[in-house]
Amino acid sequence: MTTTRTDDRLASTAGETVITVDSLNVSFGSAGSKKHVLRDISLELKAGEILGIVGESGSGKTTLLSTILGLLPPEGRVDSGDIRFGTRDLLQMSGAERRSLRGSALRLVPQRAMTSLNPVRTVIKQFQQFAKSAGQDDLSAEDLTVLLRRVGLALEPRQLKRYPHEFSGGQLQRMFIAASALLGEPSVIFADEPTSTLDTTVRSQILELVRRLRDEVNVSVIFVSHDLGVVAQVCDRVLVMYAGEVVENADVISLFDDPKHPYTRALLGALAERHQPHEMLTAIPGKVSDSLRIESGCRFAPRCANAFEPCQSIWPADRRAGSSLVKCHLYGEDAREQ
């Protein structure tokens, strides 16, 4: 039933697609109170790429991550679409197969390292557990100190017998990143807001670490964040999510130089860095909850400054705008019809 661990790692050649999500629809709740939380999500993660997923609360970025990893809560349901890891269809796999992939080929770096570790087990014991799921059966304290030195943590073997609370948040996050990137042979690291609870100077170091390890071990990364500054610093390609949809998919330079979707433009306009001191920032009227129930038409239309006639009634499928994909009627024809 399970495949051997060595098969789980994809032979990653640059440019090859590691994760493919195709027209994914996910809903929460049953018939009466059904919420369509992910609508028509498509993405491709290339080998060695850092793909950013950026959005505000309620955009569905964490749900998307959970769906790919097979960690949707019980009330969540995949209505349609495909998720593939290489050529393997993740949605057709058994629970046991998906479990064995998590921790071996697919790794998660959580938002809060502290609460994701067991507070009453020593760090070394927890790492040995991680190593086991990664297919590395015995991990000695010496091996671990060597490994942690690669992420900038100089610890003595005796210090590894300490408990999580004896380390700082930055140290624990480095440990998680070491575990996800350097134990066994990972293909994809899923980082869910890995720096949002860290201090400015620590965050910057962690971002550098993510980029460096990506280069060193050629792993691919899906990096979820609400912080546009962080996304600009670390990602190669970015998906902007709004109310359960990917409204813009662009390489990082195009996204910040020439944002296409009115929502992306509004988000960038809301940043203090793009304004003179004391100047009024560009605000987005309304709130996300106004958009989640919309089934026909564009979900951003009620808050959009550029909305016109078709936006209320016709759902905008992806359109090409330069090198970007945008769900917006401002950009001509449906890409799939061209």
User: Could you give the string, one character per residue 277-316, with x where binding to another protein holds by CB under 8 A and - elsewhere?
Assistant: xxxxxxxx--x-x---------------------------
Residues touching another protein, count (CB under 8 A): 60
Q: Which positions from 148 to 187 touch another protein by CB under 8 A, shown as an x/- string?
A: -x--xxxxx--x------xxx-xx--x-------------
144 is a contact residue toward another protein (CB under 8 A): no
Report if residue 7 touches another protein, rule: CB under 8 A.
Answer: no
Shortest Å distance, C-beta 320 to another protein: 21
Among 53, 64, 228, 247, binds another protein (CB under 8 A): 228
Which of 233, 264, 291, 324: binder of another protein (CB under 8 A)?
A: 233
Nearer to another protein, 160 or 188 (CB): 160
Shortest CA distance to 50 belongs to which of 198, 177, 197?
Answer: 177
> What sign results for the dihedral spanned by CA atoms 132, 114, 52, 97?
positive
What CA dihedral angle connects 76, 114, 9 and 6, to 10 degrees?
-110
Three-state SS at 52? strand
CB closer to another protein out of 126 and 187 = 126
Dist CA 142 CA 160 (whole Å): 10
208 binds another protein (CB under 8 A): yes
Q: Which is nearer to another protein, 109 or 231 (CB)?
A: 231
**Shortest approach of another protein to residue 252 CB, angstroms?**
4
Q: Report, in Å, the least distance between residue 35 CB and another protein.
A: 17
**Cα diameter, the chain:** 68
Paired tokens of 269: 């306009």
The residue behind tokens 């690291």 is: 189
Give the x/- contact pattern for another protein in 47-76, rule: CB under 8 A.
Answer: ---------xx-------------------
- What's the DSSP call for residue 102? B
Residue 262 vs residues 257, 298, 328: alpha-carbon distances, Å: 14, 12, 8
Q: Taking the complex as a whole, how short is the minimal distance between the CB of residue 102 and another protein, in angstroms?
A: 28
Q: What is the rounded distance in angstroms from the CA atom of residue 109 to the CA atom of residue 188?
A: 11
Show the binding pattern over residues 249-278: x = contacts another protein (CB under 8 A), - = does not: ---xx-xxx--------xxxxxxxxxx-xx
Q: In 10 A of CB 37, how many CB atoms?
A: 22
Q: 238: which 2 tokens?
A: 């970015």
Q: State the minimum distance, in angstroms, from the CB of residue 9 to another protein.
A: 26
Edge-first strand order for the sheet with 245-251 is 106-109, 188-192, 220-225, 50-54, 237-242, 245-251, 324-326, 319-321
DSSP-assigned letters across all residues of 200-219: HHHHHHHHHHHHHHHHHH--
Q: Which residue has the tokens 């380390």?
A: 167
Residues interacting with another protein, by CB under 8 A?
A: 56-57, 149, 152-156, 159, 166-168, 170-171, 174, 199-205, 207-208, 211-212, 226-233, 235, 252-253, 255-257, 266-275, 277-284, 287, 289
